[in-house]
Amino acid sequence: MGISSPGIGSNLPIDDIVSKLMTAESQPLTLLAQKEASYQAKLSGYGNLSSALSQFQATMANLGKASTFQSLSSSIGDDDIFTATLASKALSGSYQINVTQLAQAQTITTSGQASKSTTIGTGASTTISFQFGKVSGGTLTNGAYTGATFTQDAEQETGSITIDSSNNSLQGISDAINAADIGVTASIISDGSDTPARLVLTSKASGEKSSMKITVDGDSALQNLLGYDPAGTQNLTQSSAAQNTLLSVNGTAITAATTTVEEAIQGVTLNIKKIGSTSMTVAQDTSAVQNSVNAFAKAYNDLNATLQKLTAYTPATKAGDPGTGAALFGESSVRTIQDQIRNTLTSSLAGLSNSNMNLPQIGVGFDKDGNMTVDSDKLGKALKNNFSDIAGLFATVGKPTDSLINFTSSGTATKAGSYDINITQLATQATMTGSVSLNGGPVTIASDTTLEVKIDGISATVSLTAGNYTATQLASMVQSAINGTSKLSSASVAVTAKIDSSGALQLTSNRYGSASNISVQSGSGTSAATLFGSVTAGTDGVDVEGTIGGVAATGSGQILTAPTGSDAQGLKIEILGGALGARGKIDFSQGYADRLNKLVDNFIGTNGLLSANTTSINSSIKNIDDQRDALNVRLAQIEKNYRAQFTALDVAISSMSSTQQFLTQQLAQISANSTSS
């Protein structure tokens, strides 16, 4: 029977011998582990570098916006009267503002009903239409107008609801109005009388042009309850009149439909809170620009500190003790990043309106350690003398010389420079003008009249409000009806309607360019011919045409885009109007923050430098894993072989020991026999 436990037969320390042999055989595993640890350290270092670059890029993205360097601040004497919000086009100045009236919405109330659930009328299908406009003249007594006129506001959409046997109660009417979202809020109150339930209607919009006119087409009981015409029969009582905000700015009278007053002062929005008088000063916010420049320097220095830490080298402390390098010491890719960032900051900028502007001129420089510094005194002087030019040093800026041309955007391939602009065709809007004059007398629109319209490629059925209209009133009603049609409004499609010099109804699309078109066909009720005569379609709009930098550009609406292959490739400008021909130029510059933001994309993007490095390192780590797995298999076989060899040796020694014992016994026996003989 063979020996099963190593060393039992021979007393050899087989396990210890095999263990020591395997330790020697496993040295390649130790070397692989050391190599993997080195790769993992680099991978971690690149992760830290990528994170630092991402933070740097986030700061550069914000500093790369022109608005960051165009800040103004306001100082208000009494901000309980109003607050102010400033846009980039605001101008410095001092203003005395006197508020005498706050805007409010109209509120009207029906007569009382026994309860909110009491049915009203026969339940016949009835259309209730809401129009909004201005009440002028006449007198107001006990909530009712006498001798007044109502002029519909074409800018506010017409809305309507349908009432039938399923909802012909105050509650049903209230629910239908609120669900329709037609510019009116409905609620029900109880006044404690014998007929306590009253429907209260409030216009969602404030301002004097938001008074309601309610037309009821159908059940007479609903007509008697809800019919309301400030210039005629008023079956509801007004409790709150529609009125504007009234104020003056430096003595000039201003009106606004809401308590948010825009452009009474260029680029300033006033948020009116109460009646009163106070002053406001608007001035350049130099502190915001100073903070932005300091943020630029801090972001650069934070990144520089991370780069230095990751590439540092600690020298030996005594003879024979080797120095140690940080995770990315000696990595060429890190030197590439450092060099490209520094080269970007020291390169000149093209396209600046002020060609003499540079970083040293505003006090930005570098110290002996490579950190960016900011000279506050020099920066303050630059802000005082060249405030409007500093944005170009950091942000992407386009400055047209023509006030009717706006810089819209640029592309990644747009080169900084100055580009001449020449316009050969201005963008136009689609226009449809009727062939009949409507000035001869009232135009009657029958009940259930609809038009089939197609505007800017969107078709919809438009319902018109029944009634008798002057030409001007008809234009307002048609505009409100079209713009209030949900299928059109949801697609941001709208028109402007007016009566031209010949008395014809004219529709103009609010869109510019070749995608702008208008056509109108009869639906039900009054025919389209009553409004437009024989005309059923208008003249389509055209796109702007011209050149940027002497190269033909692509027009879309009012936007002109420089073509691929040109220096201005991707540059977009908006042509708001003006004359044909030469229209000045646009100075386009890409500031340092914008350049650095885009540069970092080349480092940390999907196909960037760091991505390639980390991919290579991960591949090396995977290769080490494969080598380790193969080596472990080989070592297992080596250990098996060692154990087999030593087991065989153990058996052989055991066998020889048994033979020795036998021979010793035999010799002893022979010796004993010889002695006895």
- The first and second tokens of residue 246, run together, are 């009234």
> Which stretches in the chain have pLDDT values below 50?
1-4
Q: Which amino acid is at 213?
A: K
pTM for this model (two decimals):
0.71
C-alpha dihedral sign at 376, 378, 384, 389: negative
Q: What's CA 252's distance to the chain center, in Å?
A: 37
What are 383-412's pLDDT values in tens digits?
888 887 888 888 888 989 999 999 999 988
SS3 label, residue 37: helix
Neighbours of 100 (CB within 10 A): 12
Give domain 429-532's CATH number out of 1.10.8, 3.30.1490, 1.10.3470, 2.60.40. 2.60.40
Are the beta carbons of 650 and 12 closer than 8 angstroms? yes
Are the beta carbons of 558 and 427 closer than 8 angstroms? yes
Residue 130 has φ and ψ, to the nearest 5°, of -115, 125
Are the beta carbons of 48 and 306 closer than 8 angstroms? yes
Q: How far is it, in rounded angstroms, from Cα 316 to Cα 325?
A: 11
Q: Using N-to-C axis directions, what is the helix angle for 592-604 and 332-346, rounded to 10°? A: 160
What are 189-244's pLDDT values in tens digits?
999 999 999 999 999 999 999 999 999 999 999 999 999 999 999 999 999 999 99
User: pLDDT value at position 590?
Assistant: 85
User: pLDDT value at position 567?
Assistant: 95
Architecture of domain 1-71+285-395+592-677: Up-down Bundle (1.20)
Q: Are strands 505-512 and 364-366 parallel, antiparallel or unpaired?
A: unpaired
Q: Are strands 197-203 and 107-109 parallel, antiparallel or unpaired?
A: antiparallel
Q: Which amino acid is at 528?
A: A
User: pLDDT value at position 161?
Assistant: 95
SS3 label, residue 21: helix
Are the beta carbons of 88 and 288 closer than 8 angstroms? no
User: pLDDT value at position 170?
Assistant: 97
C-alpha dihedral sign at 531, 536, 537, 538: negative
Q: What's CA 418's distance to the chain center, in Å?
A: 29
User: For 14-20, which contacts have Cβ atoms below 8 Å and span 24 or more sequence positions?
Assistant: 14/643, 14/646, 14/647, 14/650, 17/646, 18/639, 18/642, 18/643, 18/646
SS3 label, residue 32: helix
What are 437-460's pLDDT values in tens digits?
999 889 999 999 999 999 999 999
Are the beta carbons of 120 and 221 closer than 8 angstroms? yes
SS3 label, residue 265: strand
What are 474-514's pLDDT values in tens digits?
999 999 999 989 899 999 999 999 999 999 999 999 999 99
Q: How far is it, in rounded angstroms, from Cα 261 to Cα 319?
A: 78
User: pLDDT value at position 468?
Assistant: 92
User: pLDDT value at position 499?
Assistant: 96
Locate all alpha helices (DSSP H) within 462-527, ordered by sequence. Answer: 471-483, 486-489
Q: Are strands 467-469 and 443-445 parallel, antiparallel or unpaired?
A: antiparallel
Q: How far is it, in rounded angstroms, from Cα 392 to Cα 374?
A: 18
- The first and second tokens of residue 564, run together, are 């691929």
Q: How far is it, in rounded angstroms, from Cα 60 to Cα 594?
A: 6
| DSSP states of 509-562 | EEEESTT--EEEEE-SSS-HHHHHTT--B-BPP---EEEETTEE-EEETTEEEP
Q: How far is it, in rounded angstroms, from Cα 244 to Cα 207?
A: 4
Are the beta carbons of 199 and 214 closer than 8 angstroms? no
Are the beta carbons of 221 and 111 closer than 8 angstroms? no
Q: How far is it, in rounded angstroms, from Cα 152 to Cα 130?
A: 11
User: pLDDT value at position 26?
Assistant: 81
Are the beta carbons of 521 and 452 closer than 8 angstroms? yes
Q: Which residues pair with 459 in a beta bridge?
A: 454
How is residue 112 annotated by DSSP?
Answer: P
Q: How far is it, in rounded angstroms, from Cα 563 to Cα 547?
A: 10
Residues in the chain: 677
Q: How far is it, in rounded angstroms, from Cα 230 to Cα 214?
A: 9
E strand or H helix at 590, and its extent?
Answer: strand 581-590
Q: What are the structural domain ranges in the chain?
A: 1-71+285-395+592-677, 72-102+246-284, 107-243, 398-427+544-590, 429-532
